[in-house]
Amino acid sequence: MPSKLKSPQDLEKLQQMLSKNLDAGKSRISVCNGTACRPYGSNPVAEAFKAELEKRGVGNQLELKVTGCHGFCERGPVAIVEPGNLFYQKIKVEDVPEIVEKTLKGETVGRLLFKAAETGKEVAGQNEVPFYRNQTRIVLGNNVRIDPTSIEDYIAIGGYSALSKALHTMQPDQIIDVIKQSGLRGRGGGGFPTGLKWETCRKAHGDIKYVIVNADEGDPGAYANEGLLSGNPHSVLEGLIIGAFAIGAHQGYVYVRNEYPLALKNINIAMQQAEKLGLLGKDILGSGFDFSVRINRGGGAFVCGESTALMASLEGKTGEPRAKYIHTVEKGLWDRPSDLNNVETWANIPLIISKGPEWFNSIGSKGNTGTKIFSLTGKVNNTGLVEVPMGIKLRDIIFDIGGGIRGNKKFKAVQTGGPSGGCLPEKLLDLAVDFDELTKAGSMMGSGGMIVMDEDNCMVDVARYFLTFLEEESCGKCVPCREGVKRMKQILTDITEGKGRESDLDLLKELSAHLKDSALCALGSSAPNPVLTTIKYFLDEYEAHIKQKKCPAGVCKSLIKFSIIKEKCPGCGMCVKVCPAHAITDMGKKKPVILDQSKCIKCRTCYDVCRMGAVKIE
Amino acid sequence: MKDSISKIVKKYGNDKSQLVSILQDIQTEYNYLPRSALDKLSKKMDIPQSHIYSMATFFRAFSLKERGKHIVNVCLGTACHVRGGELILDSLERQLDIKRGNTTKDRNFTLETVNCMGCCATGPVVKIDEEYFGHMTNDKVEPMIKKYSE
């Protein structure tokens, strides 16, 4: 560990020394060991690389970097080899010796390269892979270059130089002006202009002020903040320190979801390293500015992503929101002016300070500058973390980057914005993805969840799912949310069980209007969005459930029936073996099996295992 | 027990605003929040038991019931839901013969659900203790459970 940095010159010297090592002409293998690659076994792969390099004693020719999330989670475990920017996918422990061997010889392991869907040809460079080619990875891009547990790595690529610039060459007001000029808007969902928020907080009365990182990414299906915080924690920390200096805060908080153990671990390590180097604590880089940070773990309550609830939780109280007649920038944590921003917002700050607001303005669209990270998941071919300039079309994300729908199924909807967002249909695929357009369409940006659904997903079931989620997560403080969400969920459950009435849709709309007007916080007031957008864009599905008592997508258990298509069934018995209810009887070879409806529990196992497509859902 | 509670409280400098983290640490130590531990905590930090109870029941991460040796966590986030996460939960409920939130009679498994674990690309996901199982299907449930059965 280098010694404490006491001036901008100290940092510069260290940076020069570390970046020299970086350019020493060594080959490098960056293995992703982010949270999403772990279910695929990236941990053993990373260990195997370590062991292989040690065994061969080639540490001076080949450097191994175990990094955070590379983004292309679908193909994990993934790695990038330099020189050549080679992208290897689905790496197994057995592949490791060959990769090392060939990398040392300057050769490529062809079978591990990405193959283009259209041509079937191998694509060598990461930048050529369609998933990456169409992205603008200004925030996430550094993940592949650094070991997130090494502050040296971050400094080597220019880390903390924005902090040094801000502390020594800029006045707080100047920093705020730069952020305002950049047009940066809060990445947590609301899209409030960050510079304006900082300015209000700076001008608010009071000597003690706080800055807070909201890393309580509770939206189910969104993990962009996780990928960023675990993959590049110093970038968030650097942004936070700059913000604290601009606002005049000396204490900061990072509120992290407890369900993200890796992010928690890495931000803790980052904080300790920054303290040791004098980038946190007293007299940061000899500027006279003091700032310290505390890390708080969440307790698994979705509502704590809401600013006032989060602050209550930081005070050691239950995470209940309050009405915001007085904004948190005036009276927030401990009733003092507090600025809360999302992980991604903070990570953008060092970039804007280093490269200037004009550069940031050149990315994205007017009023929606910069990039946005999305968690592209669900029924697309290429799932993963995607960073794109704002204003890009939904279609470009889902089809160019995401590679279209899995298994040649038909696209049905894309859900953005989590439980507060909505489901958008095919006719809106050319919608520009920015804060304003998504809101106009009845959805929202949220923290960047983008869940793609195909013809096998039932939109009524999706609406019921979100309301079930929100009912569980409602804190219960205000009546509209506590009771309204519950009733809406009951109505939706009835519809999915074939007990819906034609008047239900009007009732849902009426309840939605009340909830929007009267709920205390955004959890309640935006709860109707999934219901209203599905009614607006997928009315035919609601009508099929209510009038014909049918679920066209074959999802709602009470409305479907499994049966065997005799002509297609070769009697292989696969389904017989897996059926947990023993509802299928083997009738001998080459004779179709028989399914007993009275025993069937509609678990779908037979449908999943049948390769002949002989199980029908009606 | 007294020692371990004192240690945890000390780690957070007796700071009442750190109650969530303190409860997390107690839960890590005992696998759940035992009543006796909360009694001691209340005295030690001079926080009313009612407040500790309200915190322990408000946040979903806490359990006041003793949990099993292995925690099976089924993700029900949106990305897992659209790929059939609930069917995996049904299957686990059948095979373990318990409903979500409960512990098997032999105290080997507790079945819980979570709203997102941050590895949506591999959904549906189940986590047992620290091990993640991605792209789950009904027929993978049995071997997965077997691996953790004594």
Kindly calculate the radius of gyration of chain A based on its CA atoms and give it in whole angstroms.
26
Q: Do A38 and B61 touch (CB under 8 A)?
A: no
Specify the pLDDT at position A594.
93
**Helix (H) / strand (E) containing A603:** none
Q: Is residue B34 in a domain? A: yes
Cα angle: A53, vertex A56, A61; to 5 degrees: 65
Sequential DSSP letters for A112-138: GBEE-TTT--EE-BGGGSHHHHT---T
Q: Do A457 and B116 touch (CB under 8 A)?
A: no
pLDDT tens for A166-191 read 999 999 999 999 999 999 999 988 89
Residue B1 has pLDDT above 70, yes or no: no
Q: Do B138 and A578 touch (CB under 8 A)?
A: yes
Residue B45 vs residues A61, A388, B5, B49: alpha-carbon distances, Å: 56, 48, 10, 10
* Cross-strand pairs, A451: A377, A415
Q: Which string of b and e fits A605-615 if b means at least 16 CB within 10 Å?
A: bbbebbeeebb
- Helices vs strands, H then E, count in chain B: 7, 4
Beta strands, E only, A33-130:
62-67, 79-82, 86-88, 114-115, 122-123
Task: Assess whether B80 and B36 both reside in one domain.
Answer: no
pTM of the full predicted structure? 0.94
Q: Is residue B32 in a domain? A: yes
Q: What is d(CA A53, CA A214) in angstroms, rounded to the nearest whole number?
A: 39
pLDDT tens for A541-585 read 999 999 999 999 999 999 999 999 999 999 898 999 889 889 999
Q: Please say whether the beta carbons of A467 and A527 come within 8 A.
A: yes
Residue among A226, A225, A179, A170 at smallest CA distance from A198: A179
Range of the domain at B132: 70-147
**Residues of B in Cβ contact (< 8 Å) with A460:** none
Q: Do B82 and A451 touch (CB under 8 A)?
A: yes
Task: Assess whether B82 and B120 both reside in one domain.
Answer: yes
Q: Do A35 and B117 touch (CB under 8 A)?
A: yes
Distance from CA of A8 to the nearest CA of B (A): 34
Task: Assess whether B20 and B44 both reside in one domain.
Answer: yes
Task: Assess whether B127 and B83 both reside in one domain.
Answer: yes
Task: Assess whether B31 and B96 both reside in one domain.
Answer: no
Considering its fold, how many domains does chain B have in total?
Answer: 2
Q: Is residue B80 in a domain? A: yes
| A344-349 mean pLDDT | 98
Q: What is d(CA B136, CA B75) in angstroms, rounded to the nearest whole number?
A: 11
Specify the pLDDT at position B2.
65
Q: Which of B87, B119, B137 sits opposite A36 (nearest CB)?
A: B119
Contact map slice: B 18-57 vs A, CB within 8 A = 18-21, 23-24, 54-55
Task: Assess whether B79 and B143 both reside in one domain.
Answer: yes
Kindly calculate the radius of gyration of chain B based on its CA atoms and give it in whole angstroms.
17
Task: Assess whether B140 and B87 both reside in one domain.
Answer: yes
Q: What is d(CA A319, CA A477) in angstroms, rounded to the nearest whole number?
A: 10
Specify the pLDDT at position A116.
81
**Antiparallel, parallel or unpaired: β A364-365 and A368-369:** antiparallel
Specify the pLDDT at position B121.
82
Q: Which of B14, B37, B58 is the last residue of a domain?
A: B58
**Residues of B in Cβ contact (< 8 Å) with A603:** 87, 90-91, 94, 138
Task: Assess whether B12 and B36 both reside in one domain.
Answer: yes
pLDDT tens for B34-57 read 999 999 999 999 999 999 999 999
- Domains of chain A listed by start with CATH number: 26-132 (3.40.30.10), 151-360 (3.40.50.11540), 365-454 (3.10.20.600), 459-546 (1.20.1440.230), 561-617 (3.30.70.20)
Q: Is residue B64 in a domain? A: no
Residue entry with tokens 């897992």: B80
Task: Assess whether B138 and B86 both reside in one domain.
Answer: yes
Task: Assess whether B50 and B78 both reside in one domain.
Answer: no
B127: domain CATH number is 3.40.30.10
| Residue A73 DSSP one-character state | G
| B80-109 mean pLDDT | 93
Q: Do A226 and B118 touch (CB under 8 A)?
A: yes
Amino acid identity at A521:
C
Task: Assess whether B50 and B98 both reside in one domain.
Answer: no
Task: Assess whether B88 and B141 both reside in one domain.
Answer: yes
Q: Is residue B65 in a domain? A: no
